Structure 1
């Protein structure tokens, strides 16, 4: 079996290639432009494990027969069993010319090549957009129903599918995905599209409004979204079924999704306020609007208004400030209901099904907030402070360190990534570079003081300047003193990384900072230093030691232009807290929210960044220490050692309710 794939470096293409690698045999030929060869080679190495089955083929979507070398065609004629054509533009905001060139012209070129190769089956990735503004049920057997095609994207998707249906020189199959979102398990997404346009608005709502505040919305009809992993798995399965040539397959959610409910699902994932719809279709459907001509119905009138220049101008000055293009609002919901009975029957028994959005919406949101949110690029102060600066970040392979690296790179800084796992660092570096940034990766065990010395010597030689250091790498141990009496190594290893490792790194880089007469150190400390929660004696002591050291040396180094910020971070949803399962139910901030505090520290350089709860805890210990310790003793009783630390059964449900209540009252504290 042999394959040819266009658009393999695209979003759906990357996952389809992985499915072919996992489930099929034979070579997979991947079309790429000469200028994109390095990107494809990186994907082959980093995402596809360097498989020798993947063979790059240089070509161009804009050229006849995709610009593939005639000698290559001659050599492979009659050997390609499946020709997957995914290369196209999937963007409602793209120009008419670009849509025509890539979607229509690209399809003609791909068919010409498939015919010359005498390929077995031509697989065209179309879109539900081919249905245009068709009102009503649209099944897989339908295509040209006289529907209006309201945009260049709709038109070219329709026309490219028509070319395949009428002109393909080889057997064909068509796949029509709905709106494709990120991976349902990892959240991975490569661009802002579909519902992602609204994520910055959800973020602003979360940061400025209480989550319990109900907002008034309007019924926007239905939409349809599916995760990319479903689309790729379904395509791989359907492509290899016998006897299905000449068919179209709807890769959609079998149940139409209410647009407002979808919006509220993502708003809930963002912990933002949600929308209530006092007047929905259950009310409006009782009105005799069906008697009106279609163009005079409320939905059609609203769409016509949205397409006018004054409306575009108004939307640009309002929702456009959140990155929501007016073109997207015109197509926020579908007048079409996509039937997929034939596709579902073909998938029966494969185990491939569309997951419920509720099960993976939070995963999509987290990936966007951590990796795709580019609001920092519009922050003039952050860009001015960080552009061109080198920032050493420890623990940069995950959690706060990873997101901080991505964010400062977007502001124009050059993150120097430090962690034990070099492979993960290289993945972070590749991600930053794929977004247009620049980064460097250095593997180092920060609990090994000699390794730190070697690292600082190397960094001092490799870089003309070291502008900032973010001491983020850390180890947390949650265990009562009673269970630690025979585990003194818990204290030693926590101090080794959190305190000795951090100050050894700073001391190794201080000569460089003195030489350049500037430098800023950001220490990721803990709210526990201010609140003294029980069971964290090893962890809090190590962070308190780092705080104390920084406070003392700050007065010594201020004359050298070197300053410090300690961030007393509240509970953050990172891999470090994952072993403590009760935290799954506790209020936490996201790694992106934590990274925003780090960016503030790098830009404004305050001596401390605290939370209200942390400040109140410190005040309580100052004004009423005995009362504070009694409250903490109550927490000590309510929050027992973990089942892993005790070696016995999980916490009873009744005690879990007490824990959640106290955790919400004292939000952000490590219990």
Structure 2
């Protein structure tokens, strides 16, 4: 790791014994569990002895993760599902309500990223539907379904967002940023309403993470980034904290400045978009 990377992306500090004590024997639901951050998160959770209910589209990977978890003494189940499919999502929600009477942690990690100019999306409304359905609607549906189960345990909801949603919106990312910002606002509302129920709500404004999804964009290849393993560590630490949000240290400084300078940022974006 270069000096710049280590400064911008310091490895998260975790207390392994505390994590094991907190997750051992607890029921954890993870979406987007078969690849990237979700897979890294699941592997860390099974190491801590968590019981797992996994949701993702890739059945072979889900089967292998569950096999490994059971071999380590964890209980593990999965549903192979495309959470953008509303009928399939309804089915999963019905199954979860019956299968898991109590849930300690819900990690809403499944996400879809899309980079396209609006002028090129005139006949692609489905791109916005699918992005919103996965990044926002599925999180809301699962959270509401599991509300009684989370309430029984004083459980925690952790949503994987993006640090880019803290800055003035950039060209080409309208579908992605709209879905993430909608989820951020929903989570802030839930954090207020569910506090009296004993349920914690958290948003992780993650910076760039080296995953198959992010590596599709060649512009990201040379940029510093977290590994999926470290990003999973950030989610775990946030789940055990009293803080609502995780932000990179530099976002605490630069995001307010960027907001103040938003008119100039928009002017720059307009020039760059020509």
What TM-score comes out, normalization by structure 2 length?
0.88
Residue matched to 1:429: 66
Residue matched to 1:466: 103
Q: Report the Cα distance in structure 1 between the residues aligned to 2:270 and 2:237, rounded to whole angstroms.
A: 34
Contact 1:530 1:615 in 2 (8 A): no
**Could you say what secondary structure the match of 1:585 adopts?**
coil
1:631-650 CA-partner distances (Å, limit 9, x unpaired): 4456657xxxxxxxxxxxxx
Residue matched to 2:9: none
1:442 matches 2:79: yes
Cα distance 1:605–1:634, how it changes in 2: closer, same or farther (>3 A)? farther
Q: Report the Cα distance in structure 2 between the residues aligned to 1:605 and 1:454, rounded to whole angstroms.
A: 33
Residue matched to 2:21: 384
**Could you say what secondary structure the match of 2:114 adopts?**
coil
Matches within 5 A, 1:509-520: 509-514=146-151, 516=152, 518-520=154-156
Contact 1:417 1:425 in 2 (8 A): yes
Q: Report the Cα distance in structure 2 between the residues aligned to 1:428 and 1:495, rounded to whole angstroms.
A: 27
Cα distance 1:636–1:406, how it changes in 2: closer, same or farther (>3 A)? farther
**Could you say what secondary structure the match of 1:470 adopts?**
strand
Residue matched to 1:329: none
Q: Report the Cα distance in structure 1 between the residues aligned to 2:131 and 2:103, rounded to whole angstroms.
A: 27
1:568 matches 2:189: no
Cα distance 1:620–1:497, how it changes in 2: closer, same or farther (>3 A)? same
Cα distance 1:615–1:633, how it changes in 2: closer, same or farther (>3 A)? farther
Q: Report the Cα distance in structure 2 between the residues aligned to 1:427 and 1:636, rounded to whole angstroms.
A: 44
Contact 1:523 1:565 in 2 (8 A): yes
1:533 matches 2:170: yes
**Could you say what secondary structure the match of 1:606 adopts?**
coil
Pairwise CA distance, 1:554? 2.0
Residue matched to 2:226: 589
Contact 2:25 2:50 in 1 (8 A): yes
Pairwise CA distance, 1:605? 4.2
Pairwise CA distance, 1:418? 0.7
Cα distance 1:212–1:589, how it changes in 2: closer, same or farther (>3 A)? closer
Residue matched to 2:157: 521
Contact 2:49 2:73 in 1 (8 A): no
Residue matched to 1:6: none
Q: Report the Cα distance in structure 2 between the residues aligned to 1:464 and 1:457, rounded to whole angstroms.
A: 12
Matches within 5 A, 1:178-327: 211-212=2-3
Q: Report the Cα distance in structure 2 between the residues aligned to 1:636 and 1:428, rounded to whole angstroms.
A: 43
Contact 2:190 2:201 in 1 (8 A): no
Q: Report the Cα distance in structure 2 between the residues aligned to 1:526 and 1:625, rounded to whole angstroms.
A: 18
Cα distance 1:431–1:633, how it changes in 2: closer, same or farther (>3 A)? farther
Q: Report the Cα distance in structure 2 between the residues aligned to 1:552 and 1:463, rounded to whole angstroms.
A: 25
Pairwise CA distance, 1:626? 1.5
Q: Report the Cα distance in structure 2 between the residues aligned to 1:400 and 1:490, rounded to whole angstroms.
A: 23
**Could you say what secondary structure the match of 1:564 adopts?**
strand
Gaps of 5+ in 1: 1-205, 214-270, 273-374, 638-671
1:308-362 CA-partner distances (Å, limit 9, x unpaired): xxxxxxxxxxxxxxxxxxxxxxxxxxxxxxxxxxxxxxxxxxxxxxxxxxxxxxx
Pairwise CA distance, 1:415? 2.2
Contact 2:93 2:142 in 1 (8 A): yes
Cα distance 1:470–1:605, how it changes in 2: closer, same or farther (>3 A)? farther
1:403-459 CA-partner distances (Å, limit 9, x unpaired): 001111212222211112222200122233445544222222211233223222322
Q: Report the Cα distance in structure 2 between the residues aligned to 1:424 and 1:605, rounded to whole angstroms.
A: 33
Q: Report the Cα distance in structure 1 between the residues aligned to 2:205 and 2:94, rounded to whole angstroms.
A: 30
Q: Report the Cα distance in structure 1 between the residues aligned to 2:251 and 2:266, rounded to whole angstroms.
A: 15
Q: Greater relative contact order: 1 or 2 (C-alpha under 8 angstroms, separation 6 or more)?
A: 2
Pairwise CA distance, 1:615? 2.9
**Could you say what secondary structure the match of 1:620 adopts?**
helix
Contact 2:205 2:245 in 1 (8 A): yes
Task: Choose which of 78, 85, 91 in structure 2 pairs with 1:454.
Answer: 91
Pairwise CA distance, 1:585? 2.2
Cα distance 1:439–1:605, how it changes in 2: closer, same or farther (>3 A)? farther
Residue matched to 1:418: 55
Q: How many residues align?
A: 268
Contact 2:104 2:153 in 1 (8 A): no
Cα distance 1:449–1:508, how it changes in 2: closer, same or farther (>3 A)? farther
